[in-house]
Amino acid sequence: MDVKKIAITGITAGLCLPLALFAIILVPIPGLPAASGFWIPAGFYFVMTLWFGLWGALGGHIATTIAMGYFFGYTLHIWMNGGIGDLIAPLVCLIIFKVTKARPDLRSRKDIAVWVVAVVISSLVCGLWVHTIHLFFGIITWPSWYIGVLTYLIGDTMAVLAVGTPLLKSLTDYVKQSPMYIWK
């Protein structure tokens, strides 16, 4: 494994891990252990994935898996499901950026539009994944599925847009100097 990838994954996980814990404590959702109404780390690992590719997403996945499972062990499927969902979401966002040839520095209107749409789609895909798996396991009921997907969509989209947008706009030029940046 390339050492730069180790650095990206390890540091992203280290950065997102305390943020995941704080998000769970500061904005908890009654009834959903290890969940938060404002998933702060999502803003970070979405941005890291757009800058550094798969390894940023993997870091986010490790962080959320450790944060939700290691300390707040609820049941195995909830833990793994949430962790995998958080791996899928930023990758969907990255794929949308690659397909539409948008740039993460959000210079043009097209980039901003793609960013907003990509975040909404990614959060929706992730919300659908997590809650449909919960439904199959019998953890939630059909009415809770709608509420769950909606709150997931709103909570994740809000967090990613509120945290991620200023990060992408102001720090992308700084990150471009790094050899780890994937958009050459």
Partner 1 sequence: MTRTFFLHIEENSPLIKLHPLLKISFLITVNVLPWIIDMPLLLVIMLMCLLALYKIMRIPLKRLCKFIVLSIVIIQAIMFSYIFGSKIPGRIVYVSFPWGTYVSDKTLLYAITVTLRFLNMLIGSTMILAVLRDIDIIYGFLYLKIPYSIAFTISLALRSATIFIDDYFRIRDAMVLRGVNFDKGNIVTRARNYSRLAMPLMVLGVRRMIELGYILEVKGLGDVKKRTFLYEFPLRPIDVALLMFMVCLVVVTVVLKYFLQVIRFPGWPFS
**Given 47, 87, 92, 94, the residue binding partner 1 (CB under 8 A):** 47
Structural tokens at position 106:
């959000």
Q: Does 28 sit near partner 1 (CB under 8 A)?
A: yes
Please say which residue, 92 or 134, places its beta carbon nearer to partner 1.
134
Residue 144 as a binder of partner 1 (CB under 8 A): the answer is: yes
| Counts for the chain of helices (H) and strands (E), in that order | 7, 2
Q: Is 12 in contact with 60 (CB distance < 8 Å)?
A: yes
Least Å distance, CB 138 to partner 1, is 8
> What is the spatial distance between Cα 80 and Cα 131, in angstroms, rounded to a whole number?
12
9 binds partner 1 (CB under 8 A): yes
Of the candidate residues 4, 98, 107, 110, the single one contacting partner 1 (CB under 8 A): 4
Q: Residues near 107 by Cβ (< 8 Å), separated by ≥ 6?
A: none
Binding mask 52-71 for partner 1 (x = CB under 8 A): -------x--xx--x--xxx
Convert 151-164 to b/e letters by CB count within 10 Å (16 or more is b): bbbebbbbbbbebb
Q: Tell me the window of 82-90, 93-101, 118-126, 157-165 that interacts with partner 1 (CB under 8 A).
A: 157-165
Nearest distance from C-beta of residue 29 to partner 1, angstroms: 7
